Structure 1
């Protein structure tokens, strides 16, 4: 298994290029890192095996950072948002509470 991280790749275009090369070589992909940013990539590739997910207990503040909140169903699946862009927005109320300056 190989891991592709959109937050390390210089954007989705490069991540898609990397996943395309992996597909050609028969390598399965497990997007990981910031789950809200990885979800569009995971949904767009046919050879993804899972999406790493951080439960609320790991970091309650992190769980509130994006809206709408991403939560797996009882079978462990998440729904890909149908909103523009990556489908999530930053929770500005949360960020403003911790703003410095």
Structure 2
């Protein structure tokens, strides 16, 4: 019967089957605090705005025969300046990542 591979976790402990890797993962996700109700609402709105901009980008791409719109064109269609568009896209992406990280603990 074949034996399980020996794995090393970040702490250097050796285990068969990766038990320490699972513990390490659970410990890491436990470090991310849960979101408050207000944080969920704020981050959710930022993610919704990100999704709306991405949907608009796709709509403009389809209208242009498959060519992606320039940032200035997308900003104009969204009623934003190019700088504000970039800021909202970054904020939405960060909000999405934060929500995913916080929800991994659930």
TM-score bracket for the superposition, by shorter chain length: under 0.3
The two structures have a TM-score, normalised by structure 1, of 0.23
Find the structure with the greater CA-based Rg.
2
Specify which structure has the higher proportion of helix: 2
Larger RCO (CA under 8 A, 6+ residues apart): 2
The two structures have a TM-score, normalised by structure 2, of 0.22
